[in-house]
Amino acid sequence: MTKIEIKNLTFNYDGENIFKDFSLTIDERKTAIIGQNGAGKTTLMKLLNGLLKPSEGEIFINGESSDGREVTDLAKTVGYVFQNPNDQIFKSRIIDEVMYGPLNLGETAVEAEKAARQALEKFDQLGLVEENPYDLSLAERKQIAIASVLAMETEIVIFDEPTIGQDFKGKQQLRSVIEDLRQTGKTVISILHDMDFVAENFERVIVLKEGQILADGTAGEVFSQEDVLREAGLELPHIAELSKVLGFPSLALNIADFLELAKQTK
């Protein structure tokens, strides 16, 4: 089912077009957007949540045009976790930061605090609710930024590089957050530079370069296109690289794949 439809989008910051006559539909599949620095990934996501406005073309969210809708209105449906948490976080207490979104959507203080605590719990951050976000590490601030968006329970959740600075535990927590969102019928779109995380967690992968889509398919389909990866300046997931070096008949995208292919290759 189509959740987002981008139709003939053109956008520029005040110069050259970043997107020209660009069209894309997003459905319920967990979707990863990948591509080199400057490919236009963040710009595209900011266009989806209304922080930026198309110069031409139209964006439909659940069938409704976002033309003329304010960011605050769109924020009820589209949650966006900023690439840099410092651009998002503005309160001096974590609990206030995470409650801000739900309060803004009209929830009572009790409801907002409950939603905030539930979101923070997903990252084991409940012990920190009274702290100042700026006393935390970048990785923890990123988790606070993610929790702030989760607490709003929007139908569409966009993550801009959520794995930044995350250690193994942080990535595991993120993995279950993303899967839970999918299981509860939310649409997840994420920009990522971590190809291992992409291969393991996303059903659809879109490769962007200079405002154009170079490839769009399952992780298996996209990572098998060596020419596309070269052109987009992307690397293979480590496990896929290893399966290639070992001469397996197809690319492994996770450990289960790898073991299965290893058995076949014996």
Instruction: Tell whether residue 182 is a contact of ligand ATP (CB under 6 A).
Output: no
Nearer to Mg ion, 81 or 239 (CB): 81
Residue 37 binds which of ligand ATP, Mg ion, none (CB < 5-8 A, kind-dependent): ligand ATP
Q: Which of 254, 181, 187, 152 is nearest to 1 (CA)?
A: 187
3-state helix, strand, coil in the chain (%, to 5): 40, 20, 35
Residues 16-35 that bind ligand ATP (CB under 6 A): 18, 35
Q: How many residues bind ligand ATP (CB under 6 A)?
A: 11
| Cα gap 29→229, rounded to integer Å | 22
Q: To the nearest whole angstrom, how small is the minimum distance from the Cβ of residue 224 to ligand ATP? A: 23
**If you count them, how many residues does the chain have?**
266
Instruction: Tell whether residue 119 is a contact of ligand ATP (CB under 6 A).
Output: no
Tokens of 120: 């923070």
Q: Could you give the string, one character per residue 140-169, with x where binding to ligand ATP holds by CB under 6 A and - elsewhere?
A: ------------------------------
The conformation of residue 177, written as its DSSP 8-state character, comes to H
Residues 56-95 that bind ligand ATP (CB under 6 A): 83
Nearer to ligand ATP, 43 or 154 (CB): 43
Candidate list 4, 24, 32, 39; residue touching ligand ATP; CB under 6 A:
39
Q: Give the burial string for 124-154 (b: 16+ CB within 10 Å, else e).
A: ebeebbebebeebeeebbbbbbbbbbbbbbb
Beta bridge partners of 61: 4, 64
Contact positions vs ligand ATP (CB under 6 A): 13, 18, 35, 37-43, 83
